[in-house]
Amino acid sequence: MTKNRGKVDSPSAKYPRLLSLLSLIEAALSSAQGRPAAVTRSADYRMGVARMTFGDGSGSILLQNFLLADGQLCMRINLRRTGAAQAGEEAIYPQVATCDWEEAAARIARAWCVLAPAETGRAETISA
């Protein structure tokens, strides 16, 4: 029997927390903006991606999990806000026992809020 040496084989083990993190991001945005936003979520665990699209047409948040060359998990977050001059990007390098997922979700929510639609030129504020 060979040892796996820290690498994981099943898609669900490689790509944890996709929908859980989207739920945490949604909660952080909802509490920060004071209004719940209608969202649609989808995930493809085999591909390691999940998307949250806002029902009001304000944009979407895409999560993409992948393994780095050294076997470490990386989660890339792409923030696409309608009307924003550019997309935002965040990254999480979770260590299973030490990752603070709520703090990561709050950081992503803050990044979303500073993406100002180009026509208003104002970013939303969010408390830390």
Distance of alpha carbon 12 from alpha carbon 74, whole angstroms: 14
Question: What is the architecture of the domain spanning 11-114?
Answer: 2-Layer Sandwich (3.30)
Per-domain residue ranges of the chain: 11-114
pTM of the model: 0.76
Cα Rg, the chain, nearest whole Å: 16
Distance of alpha carbon 38 from alpha carbon 54, whole angstroms: 6
List average pLDDT for each run of 10 residues in the chain, which is 128 residues long: 44 65 90 78 91 92 91 91 90 80 91 75 45
